[in-house]
Amino acid sequence: MKNYENVTIFNHPLIQHKIAMLRSKDTGMKDFRELIEEITALMTFECLKDVPTRQVMVTTPLERTEQTIVIENSVAVIPVLRAGLGMVNGVHMLFPTAKVGHIGMYRDEETLEPKEYYCKLPDGIEDKIAIILDPMLATGGSAVAAIDLLKKQGVSDIRLMNIIAAPVGVETVATAHPDVKVFIACLDRQLNENGYILPGLGDAGDRLFGTK
Ligand code: PRP
Ligand code: URA
């Protein structure tokens, strides 16, 4: 896959270790959920390294000092239902005041086209950093549709966080929306004939919520 300026692929050993556990079919629902949250928190550290800040005065036991804090209402997260829900706590661990919007989307099993069924976004989202959360980037159809939707709402700073991605999904998003910063924990090999990522981790929504 070619290099895209706005695509960050982590390849960090601490993240790779957690992804190895996440992939295993022997990892149960509780551990799966916790691993998704932990990986998301590690990714958030990088994704929000340019979050807006302001200066405040703090009094230590010894003196008054000027310090940097984040601007609390500057971030919103938008999990793509269902699997994106599993990533919300991971962002909240580091940025507890992030507002949460929801986009409901599922892939048609035959065509793999995304079908939108729900959308509720926080007021004022157009002025915030909006981070779309979805553990899986397969064909890229769902991510492109979610970004299209946010752009129609007037959001200009859109970021996408995926834990596992297929090369075709990255290429589709980076081509359709070159301005969107994409953060991927791990780039996998390919899709299978049913649109599942290989080696992947299976169906993220089913593994998070125990539906199969
Ligand atoms: C999965 C995943 C993404 C989408 C990725 O959701 O969570 O939203 O597929 O595939 P794409 O890149 O080919 O669009 P799914 O449709 O299985 O819905 P679910 O989370 O409700 O199970
Ligand atoms: N959605 C998933 O949950 N897993 C995949 O491998 C592809 C899409």
Residue 20 has what pLDDT?
A: 98
Average pLDDT on 82-95 reads 98
Residue 1 has pLDDT above 90, yes or no: no
Please give the residue range of the domain that contains residue 88: 7-209
Burial class (CB in 10 A: 0-12, 13-18, 19+), 142: buried
Pocket lined around ligand 2, Cβ cut-off 6 Å: 83, 136, 138, 196-197, 200, 203-205
Please name the residue whose Cα sits nearest to atom 2 of ligand 1. Answer: 136
**Separation CA 133–CA 91 (nearest Å):** 9
Q: Which residues have C-beta atoms less than 6 Å from ligand 1?
A: 80-83, 105-107, 112, 114, 134, 136-143, 169, 195, 203-205
Q: Is residue 49 part of a domain?
A: yes
Cα–ligand 2 centroid distance for 203 (angstroms): 5
The CA 175 to ligand 2 mean position distance, Å, reads 21
What's the total number of domains in the chain? 1
- The residue-averaged pLDDT of 199-212 equals 97
* Residue 60 domain-assigned (yes or no): yes
* CATH number for the domain harbouring residue 85: 3.40.50.2020
pLDDT at position 112 is 92
Q: What is the pLDDT of residues 143-161, one digit of tens each?
A: 999 999 999 999 999 999 9
Residues 179-207, mean pLDDT to the nearest whole number: 97
Strand intervals (E) in 151-202: 157-165, 181-187, 190-191, 197-198
pLDDT in tens, 31-46: 999 999 999 999 999 9
Q: Residue 1 domain-assigned?
A: no
| In the predicted structure, residue 30 carries a pLDDT above the cut 90 | yes
First CA to last CA distance, the chain: 33
For the stretch 106-151, pLDDT in tens is 989 899 999 999 999 999 999 999 999 999 999 999 999 999 999 9
Whether 2 is covered by a domain: the verdict is no
Instruction: Determine, yes or no, domain membership for 166.
Output: yes
Mean pLDDT over all residues of the chain?
97
Q: What is the 196 CA–ligand 1 centroid distance (Å)?
A: 9
Tell me what the mean pLDDT of segment 6-34 comes to.
Answer: 97
The model's pTM: 0.97
